[in-house]
A and B are shown apart, each in its own frame.
Chain A
Amino acid sequence: MQDTASTPLSFQQLILRLHDYWAAQGCVILQPFDMRVGAGTFHPATTLRSLGPDPWNCAYVQPSRRPTDGRYGENPNRLQHYYQYQVIMKPSPPDLQELYLGSLAAIGIDPLLHDIRFVEDDWESPTLGAWGLGWEVWCDGMEVTQFTYFQQMGGFDCKPVTGELTYGLERLAMYIQGKDSVYDLVFNDAVGDRPAVTYGDVFLENERELSKWNFEVADTDKLFRWFKDAEAECQASIAAGVPLAAYEQAIEASHIFNLLQARGVISVQERASYMGRVRDLAKGSCEAWMAHNGWAQ
C-alpha cells in the first residue's frame, strides 16, 4: 500500500509520525513504562491519570507482553511481546473521532481509498475493574485501533470521561508496508551504507527465547512466590500511603499471574480466584490514589 509516498513508512517512522501528530494536538509524549505489562492501559499514565477531575492528554508507545500469545517466532501474526501506541485524552474532546482520523491521514491512510469503519466493541478489564464503550476501528476489514470512552476505572466512575485510542503498531505497519509477516517489517530506512533492518532482525530471537522461557523454563515455584510477594508489597504500600508504588506492585502481580497461566499451572477454578486477587490490588491502589489526591467519592 503506497498512498502518498513512493516508500511506505518504516516501523519507526510510523511511531515518529504519530508522536508528531499527537504532540501537535497538545499531548504529552511519554516514554514506555519500565515494567512488564499486558497492555498500554496498564501504564499509570492511563490507569491512574484517568481518575480524578484534572485534564490529561498524553501519547506513548508501550511494549506489551502476552505470554500465552508466544509462538516461538513461528507465527507471522502472534507475538508474546509487541507494541501498542496509546493516546489518552481527558476529558474526551468532542472531536476525538476526527482527531483520530487525522492521525490515520498523518500515516498515509487515505479514507477515500480505504474503507474506515467504527464497529461496536465494548472494552472491559476485569483485572483493572474498568470498562468503557467504543469501537474497534476497521481499515479494509482489519482492526487497527481500539477506541474507548472509559466509564469506570478501578471501580470508580470516570469524572470526567477519558478517551483512549490504542493502535496495534505491528499490525498497522504490516498493513502500510503490505507485509504478510511481522518479521518482514522494515524497521528503519537505510541511510548511506548503514542498512535498514527488519523487525525480525531486532525481535525474532527475542520471541524464540522468551516463548521458551514463558512456556517451559520459568520456575513456577518462584512465580507463585513472586506473586505472593508482589501482593504483600502492594498491600503494604497502600497501607504506607504510597499508592503509585502500590500500583507498580499490582502491575507486577498481574504479569506474574499471566506467566503462571502460560505455564499452565493455574486450574480453571483457581483462575477466577487469582483474577480476583489482582483486581483487589489494582482497585486498592486506585482507591488509595483517589484518597491521596482527595478525590474519594
Chain B
Amino acid sequence: MSADFLLELRCEEIPARMQARASEDLARLFTEKLAEAGLKAAWLTSYVTPRRLALIAHDLPLATQAVSEEYKGPRISAPPQALEGFLRKTGLTQDQLEDRDGVWFATVEKTGRATADVLAEVIPAIIRAFPWPKSMRWGSVSLSPESLRWVRPLQGIVALLGDDVVPIAIEGAEAGRTTLGHRFHASGLVSIERAATYAEQLRAAYVVVDQAERRRIIEERATALAAEAGLDLIPDAGLVAENAGLTEWPVPLLGRFDSAYLEVPPEVIQLTLRINQKYFVLRDSAGKLANAFICTANIEATDGGRAIIEGNGKVLAARLSDARFFWEQDKKTPLAVHAEKLARITFHEKIGTVADKVERVARLARWLGEEGIVKGADPALAEQAARLAKADLVTEMVGEFPELQGLMGGYYARAEGLPDVVADAIRDHYKPVGQGDDVPTAPVTVAVALADKLDSLFQFFAIDEKPTGSRDPYALRRAALGAILLIEKNGLRAPLWQVLPVFQNDIEEPAPIGLVIDAILDFFADRLKVQQREAGVRHDLIDAVFALGGEDDLVRLLARVKALQHFIATEDGANLLAGYKRAANILKKERPENGKSASAAGEEDPGAALTDPEIADAIRVHDALPPAYMLEPAEAALIAALDAAEPRAAEAVVAEDFEGAMAALATLRGPIDTFFDTVTVNDPDPAKRDSRLNVLTRIRAAVHQVADFSKIEG
C-alpha cells in the first residue's frame, strides 16, 4: 500500500537567491527524516516559487515495517533505581525482561506506524530546524523569542497523503488542502485534490510551480521578443534564474531606452540593466549593445504590458541619466587628480593608505621594466600606469558600481588622451582574477598587474596576515594564483627572493625579511600545486619536482613538471621509473645510512631542499676507484651508460632543457633492465656488493637531477 504525499509550505516572498538551496534542503531533510523512521519514497519532485516550497514524495508506503529491537539493560546485581530507569525507557515490566548471564535484556516489539503519524511528527521538526541563511519571527506569537522562525512569515501548509490531509500543526499554521493561487490573477482559495493534481490546479490559478518551466518560459519568450525586434538576447542564466525566482507567472516584455545613453560605456549600461533592474540586455546585428531591454513581469497585464514597459522605461531612464552624469562628471577630473584622494583611503591600518600602496606598486612596476624581468615594459609607462591604476576607486561611477574598478579607469585614461598601453594596463591590472580568467600579456599591463599582486602578498605577509583555512579576507590566494599565472604565461624569469626585497617597507616592526620571503615562497608552492592540480597535472609529478626543493624560479619549475609529465607517459619513462624504484628499494634496504637522508627528505618533508648528504654521496661514488674485480658485461654496460648519460643530463638541466635531460636518462633504461636481469647486487663478495650499490646510487642521483622519482606513483 502506498500513496503520493504532497507538502506545500506557503509563505511571503522568499528571496530569489535562496530558493534553489531551500528546495534542495527540503528534499534532503525530508528524505533523511523519513529514512530514520524507516520510510522511503520511490522518488521526489521539488517545486519552488517566490511564495511556496513544495515537494511530492511518490509512492510512499502507508505504514512503516514492524521491527523488534533488543536493548541491553543493567546487571541484575545493580541497584533497583537502574532497573526502574531501564523499565521506564523500554516501557516494559520486570517479568518481560530476560536474564542473560546476570544482565537484563529487553526485547521491544515495535509495530508498524502509520505514515501519516510519522509525517505529522517529522514535518514540524523539519520546519522548525530549516536551515535558512537568515530567518525571522513575526506576528503576535513573536511576543516569545522562541516563536517559530522562517525566512518570511509562513502562511499556510498543504499536506496530503493520498486523498487525505495529514494533521500537521505548527504555531500559526495548520495543514489543510487549501492554498492560494497568483497574488493578483487568482482570487479565493484553491482546494488541492491530491499530489498528482497540484501543479495543474495551480497552473489554472496562474502559478507555474516548476522553477525549471518558469526559467524555460523566460528564456524562450525573451529570445523570441529579441528576434521579433531584430536583436539578439545576451544569454544570462543567472538572470533567468533570478527572474524565475521573482515571478510565479513570468511574462517577459521588451522596452526601449533613448539611444543617446549609448555614449556611456556599454559595461555601465549592462550593469545598470542587469544588477539594478534585473533586465536582459540585447545586441544588434553588428554585435553592439542595443537601446532595448527585456523585463520580466509577474502578470498578464490588462493592457498587454504597455504601462509596465512605460514605467520600467522611466525608471531605467532615470538610472541611465545618473550613470551618464557620473561618466561626465568623472571625466572632468584627470585621473592623476582623482589619485590624490587615495591618500584618504585606508588600505589596511597596519599597512597604510591606498596611496602608499600605489607608490610601492609604481616603484616595483618600474623596476620590473628596468631589470628586463618583464621584457618590453617601458619603465616610465609602467610607473605611470601604476600611479593611475587605482584612481578610479574614488570616481562616482566606481562608487556606484564597484565591480567596474579598473575598467572605468581604462575608459577615463583613454578619454583624457593617455597612451593606449597605459589605459590598457589600468583596465587590466586586476587580472587574472582566478583560474580561467584572461592572463594579460601586454608588457606594461603585466608589470603593473604583477607588481600589484606581489605588493599585496608581501605587505600582508609582513604583518603576518596570512590566509588560514577558509579565511582569506584579503584574497591573497587569488593574488598568488594571479602572480603565478602571469609569470607562467609570460615566461617571466624573476627569482622571487630578488623581487621581494625591492619593497621599501613602511611597516612598523615588520617580520624579518628572510622569514617573510620564505613564507611567501612556501605559499607560492602551495598555490602552484593547487593550480597545477586544477590544470590536470598529476599531483605526484608535482610533488616529485617540488621534492627537489630550492627552486624559486616558477618558469623553470613548471618546465620541469611539464617535461616530466610528458616523459612519464612514454614507455621509456615508465620503464626508467620501474628501474629507478628497484634501485631505490635496494638502496633503502642495503644502505639505509647513506640513502636515509635523501629518502627521508623525499618522503617526509616534501618541501626540503635537495640534501647535501645525497650530493656528497653521489660525488663520493663518482670519485671512487674503479672496482678491482672483473665487471660483468651488464654491469660494465650500465656504468658506461651512466658515464655517458650523467654529463648529458647535467648539461641539459643547466640549459633548462628538461626534455633533453630526460632523453639522456632514457638511455639508461635498457642497461638498467639488463643489469637487474643478469647481475646479483647482493654478491657474497663485499667488494662486488659495494661497487654494485654504488652503481645504484649513481642511478638514483642521475634521476634526481630531474625529479625525485620516489614521489611518482606506479
Across the interface, B134 reaches (CB within 8 A) one of A111, A122, A163, namely A122
Bound-complex Cα distance A113 to B183 (A): 13
Would A141 and B277 be within 8 Å (CB), given that A94-B155, A111-B184, A115-B297 are in contact?
yes
Bound-complex Cα distance A236 to B151 (A): 41
B25 interface hit (Cβ, 8 Å): no
Across the interface, B50 reaches (CB within 8 A) one of A118, A139, A158, namely A118
Across the interface, A77 reaches (CB within 8 A) one of B153, B310, B318, namely B318
B512 interface hit (Cβ, 8 Å): no
Across the interface, A97 reaches (CB within 8 A) one of B12, B145, B322, namely B12
Would A116 and B184 be within 8 Å (CB), given that A139-B311, A140-B315, A180-B314 are in contact?
yes
With a 10 A CB-CB cut-off, give which of B142, B172, B246, B308 has the most chain A CB atoms. B142
B396 interface hit (Cβ, 8 Å): no
Flag if B140 contacts A160 (CB, 8 Å).
yes
**Chain A residues with CB under 8 A of B152:** 133-134, 149
Which residues of B, 296-311, contact A by the 8 Å Cβ criterion?
297-299, 301-303, 307-308, 310-311
Minimum C-beta distance from B332 to chain A (A): 16
A84 interface hit (Cβ, 8 Å): no
Would A161 and B312 be within 8 Å (CB), given that A133-B134, A267-B344 are in contact?
no
Would A112 and B307 be within 8 Å (CB), given that A92-B139, A133-B152, A158-B142 are in contact?
no
Across the interface, A268 reaches (CB within 8 A) one of B136, B318, B344, namely B344
A142 interface hit (Cβ, 8 Å): yes
**Chain A residues with CB under 8 A of B307:** 1, 113-114, 140
Minimum C-beta distance from A27 to chain B (A): 17
Minimum C-beta distance from A234 to chain B (A): 28
Which residues of B, 111-146, contact A by the 8 Å Cβ criterion?
134-145
Looking at B13-21, B97-105, B380-388, B499-507, the stretch in contact with chain A turns out to be B13-21
Q: Mark A135-149, 1 if CB is under 8 A from B, else 0.
A: 100011110000001
A209 interface hit (Cβ, 8 Å): no
Closest A residue to B305 using CB positions: A115
Flag if A140 contacts B302 (CB, 8 Å).
no
Bound-complex Cα distance A151 to B211 (A): 30
Bound-complex Cα distance A149 to B139 (A): 9
A53 interface hit (Cβ, 8 Å): yes
A91 interface hit (Cβ, 8 Å): yes
**Chain B residues with CB under 8 A of A229:** none
Across the interface, A115 reaches (CB within 8 A) one of B143, B144, B301, namely B301
A175 interface hit (Cβ, 8 Å): yes
Closest A residue to B349 using CB positions: A269
Flag if A141 contacts B143 (CB, 8 Å).
no
With a 10 A CB-CB cut-off, give which of B135, B247, B295, B301 has the most chain A CB atoms. B301
Bound-complex Cα distance A124 to B315 (A): 25
A119 interface hit (Cβ, 8 Å): yes
Bound-complex Cα distance A267 to B449 (A): 30
Closest A residue to B14 using CB positions: A120
**Chain B residues with CB under 8 A of A93:** 139
B618 interface hit (Cβ, 8 Å): no
B674 interface hit (Cβ, 8 Å): no
Flag if A141 contacts B295 (CB, 8 Å).
yes
Would A151 and B137 be within 8 Å (CB), given that A53-B143, A140-B315 are in contact?
yes
**Chain B residues with CB under 8 A of A116:** 183-184, 298
Flag if B311 contacts A175 (CB, 8 Å).
yes
**Chain B residues with CB under 8 A of A134:** 152
**Chain A residues with CB under 8 A of B142:** 91-92, 158-161
**Chain B residues with CB under 8 A of A269:** 346
B525 interface hit (Cβ, 8 Å): no
Flag if A94 contacts B134 (CB, 8 Å).
no
A117 interface hit (Cβ, 8 Å): yes
A157 interface hit (Cβ, 8 Å): yes
Closest B residue to A3 using CB positions: B307
Would A160 and B139 be within 8 Å (CB), given that A140-B312, A142-B311 are in contact?
yes
Bound-complex Cα distance A135 to B299 (A): 19
**Chain B residues with CB under 8 A of A110:** 302
Closest B residue to A111 using CB positions: B184
Flag if B153 contacts A141 (CB, 8 Å).
no
Which residues of B, 258-285, contact A by the 8 Å Cβ criterion?
277, 279
Bound-complex Cα distance A122 to B141 (A): 21
Minimum C-beta distance from B402 to chain A (A): 16
Flag if A91 contacts B140 (CB, 8 Å).
yes
**Chain A residues with CB under 8 A of B145:** 157, 159
Bound-complex Cα distance A119 to B16 (A): 8
Bound-complex Cα distance A163 to B138 (A): 8
Across the interface, A159 reaches (CB within 8 A) one of B15, B143, B297, namely B143
Minimum C-beta distance from A76 to chain B (A): 8
Would A112 and B302 be within 8 Å (CB), given that A1-B307, A91-B142, A118-B50 are in contact?
yes
Flag if B344 contacts A113 (CB, 8 Å).
no
Closest B residue to A151 using CB positions: B136
Flag if B153 contacts A159 (CB, 8 Å).
no
B35 interface hit (Cβ, 8 Å): no
Closest B residue to A119 using CB positions: B246
Bound-complex Cα distance A118 to B184 (A): 13
Q: Mark B286-300, 1 if CB is under 8 A from A, else 0.
A: 000000000101110
Flag if A160 contacts B155 (CB, 8 Å).
no
Q: Mark A42-68, 1 if CB is under 8 A from B, else 0.
A: 000000000001000000000000000
B544 interface hit (Cβ, 8 Å): no
Flag if A117 contacts B184 (CB, 8 Å).
no
Flag if B13 contacts A118 (CB, 8 Å).
yes
Flag if A120 contacts B140 (CB, 8 Å).
no
Minimum C-beta distance from B433 to chain A (A): 25
Flag if A91 contacts B344 (CB, 8 Å).
no
Bound-complex Cα distance A149 to B138 (A): 7
Across the interface, A91 reaches (CB within 8 A) one of B143, B183, B312, namely B143
Bound-complex Cα distance A133 to B13 (A): 11
Which residues of B, 144-158, contact A by the 8 Å Cβ criterion?
144-145, 151-153, 155
Would A135 and B344 be within 8 Å (CB), given that A149-B153, A159-B145, A161-B138 are in contact?
no
Bound-complex Cα distance A157 to B142 (A): 10
Bound-complex Cα distance A91 to B318 (A): 37
Flag if B298 contacts A117 (CB, 8 Å).
yes
Bound-complex Cα distance A271 to B305 (A): 46
Flag if B13 contacts A135 (CB, 8 Å).
yes
Bound-complex Cα distance A119 to B136 (A): 16
Closest B residue to A97 using CB positions: B12
**Chain B residues with CB under 8 A of A267:** 344
Flag if B315 contacts A115 (CB, 8 Å).
no
Minimum C-beta distance from A19 to chain B (A): 25
Across the interface, B139 reaches (CB within 8 A) one of A91, A117, A118, A132, namely A91
Minimum C-beta distance from A55 to chain B (A): 9
Flag if B143 contacts A112 (CB, 8 Å).
no
Across the interface, A113 reaches (CB within 8 A) one of B277, B303, B312, namely B303
Bound-complex Cα distance A269 to B316 (A): 35
**Chain A residues with CB under 8 A of B247:** 117
Closest A residue to B144 using CB positions: A159
Across the interface, A161 reaches (CB within 8 A) one of B50, B139, B303, namely B139
B66 interface hit (Cβ, 8 Å): no
**Chain A residues with CB under 8 A of B301:** 112-115
Q: Mark B9-53, 1 if CB is under 8 A from A, else 0.
A: 000110111000000000000000000000000000000001000
Flag if A149 contacts B136 (CB, 8 Å).
yes
With a 10 A CB-CB cut-off, give which of A91, A113, A159, A269 has the most chain B CB atoms. A113
Can you spell out 10 A-B residue pairs with CB atoms less than 8 angstroms apart? A94-B139, A94-B153, A113-B302, A115-B297, A117-B246, A142-B311, A149-B137, A160-B139, A160-B141, A161-B139
State the B residues within 8 Å of A (CB): 12-13, 15-17, 50, 134-145, 151-153, 155, 172, 183-185, 246-247, 277, 279, 295, 297-299, 301-303, 307-308, 310-312, 314-318, 322, 344-346
State the 7 A-B residue pairs at the shortest beta-carbon distance, nearest first: A140-B311, A120-B15, A118-B13, A141-B312, A160-B142, A115-B297, A161-B142
Apart from A94-B172, A140-B307, what 4 extra A-B contacts exist at CB < 8 Å? Answer: A115-B298, A119-B13, A140-B310, A142-B315
State the A residues within 8 Å of B (CB): 1, 53, 76-77, 91-94, 97, 101, 110-120, 122, 132-135, 139-142, 149, 151, 157-161, 163, 175, 180, 267-269
